[in-house]
Structure 1
Amino acid sequence: MSPNALALVELLIRERRALFRFIARYLDPASTEDTLQNLYLKASSVPGDPPILEPRGYLYRMAYHHALNRSQAEARERRALAEFAADLGELAADGEATALDQAQLREITQTILALPPQVRECFVLNRYLGLTEREIAARLGLSKSVVGKYVLRAALLVQQQQQGGR
């Protein structure tokens, strides 16, 4: 671990409660905890050159940007889910969906909403916004294989829900 990374990780550990409160201004508690964990991973991989002259300011700037990115991603996810729900509503309004199909669509929507936040976000970004696994991985700071596993897990749950509803 580089000297910069070591200094940031030690500072993060010492100021964890204050950082939690700082990030909580922008996010809900679960997202705040996830963001803190991601911040630890990011801080531990900071290169040693050039030296960071103000580690506390650097750490809080990182925390702010992580919280901002997470908040924006959650807003995009909410918009995508709202569009998805609107599309479902249009189907029902057009009379194309039977009562059984409507109930099944509601169950699938509930299945998607019940997914863990990061799994749901990966699934929605992939299936409804059309992003590739590589784009999602870069956006969320995850590995491509983790994104693939999350999307697959969500797709399997949705498929099980569809098969269970028939």
Structure 2
Amino acid sequence: MPENRLLTETYFAKRDVLLRFLTRLCGDEASAEDVLQDLYIKASGARIDGEIQEPLAFLFRMANNLYLNRLRAASSHRARDTAWHDLNPQTALEGSGIDGTGADASPDAEAVVAARQELRAVMKALEALPPRTQDIFRLHKIDGLSQTEVARRLDISISSVEKHLSGALKHLLALNRSRH
């Protein structure tokens, strides 16, 4: 029997067990269902070399890895949001609904235009950096890879990644200071 068929049959036979496991991990059933859906997509398209002795254990491992990937992605998004808010405190306050009025916290048209202009300036500033620094910055700050993952992907040292990121952030900070 092809491995993906074995995995999908096990998935459907043990879906409730997998859902309970993921609900404990995620803390809520809605998130668990999302991971479970991702698991089905992965399992049904899996191309495995060799034989899977324990398909349920294999699915548990896949589910756990998918959950961890979601955690990492959420952490990266929070880090980017925090960095953005740290660099743009006024924009952060305006868009957060902190004033307590209960008003819609969506940005008005002026704020959207200003944010787009700011983004264009940042992207232009990034283009002024050396290509290697641009690549490292994008992989880490935009794609959400860890410094270790960036170093491994580009076959360079972590120290080199840190130096490139430091240079890019100094460059962007100087841009921010000159604009404000």
Larger CA Rg, structure 1 vs 2: 2
Larger RCO (CA under 8 A, 6+ residues apart): 1
Runs of 4+ in 1 over 3 A off after TM superposition: 101-106
Letter in 2 for 1:53: Q
Residues 70-149 of structure 1: matches in 2 within 5 Å? 70-89=70-89, 92=90, 103=94, 107-108=106-107, 129-131=141-143
Q: For the Cα contact (< 8 Å) 1:9–1:43, is it kept in 2? A: yes
Structure 2 residue ranges without an equivalent (≥5): 97-104, 108-137, 146-180
**How far apart in 1 are the matches of 2:59 and 2:93?**
48
Q: For the Cα contact (< 8 Å) 1:26–1:71, is it kept in 2? A: no
Letter in 2 for 1:44: S
Match of 1:43 in 2: 43
Match of 2:13 in 1: 14
Structure 1 residue ranges without an equivalent (≥5): 109-125, 136-166
**Percent of matched pairs sharing the same residue:** 31
**How far apart in 1 are the matches of 2:143 and 2:71?**
18
SS at match of 2:58: helix
CA deviations over 1:92-132 (Å, ceiling 9, x no partner): 3xxxx7xxx96468534xxxxxxxxxxxxxxxxx8x93339
SS at match of 1:83: helix
Letter in 2 for 1:55: P
**How far apart in 2 are the matches of 1:103 and 1:29?**
33
**How far apart in 2 are the matches of 1:47 and 1:130?**
29
Residues 31-70 of structure 1: matches in 2 within 5 Å? 31-47=31-47, 49-70=49-70
Q: How many residues align?
A: 105
Q: For the Cα contact (< 8 Å) 1:11–1:56, is it kept in 2? A: yes
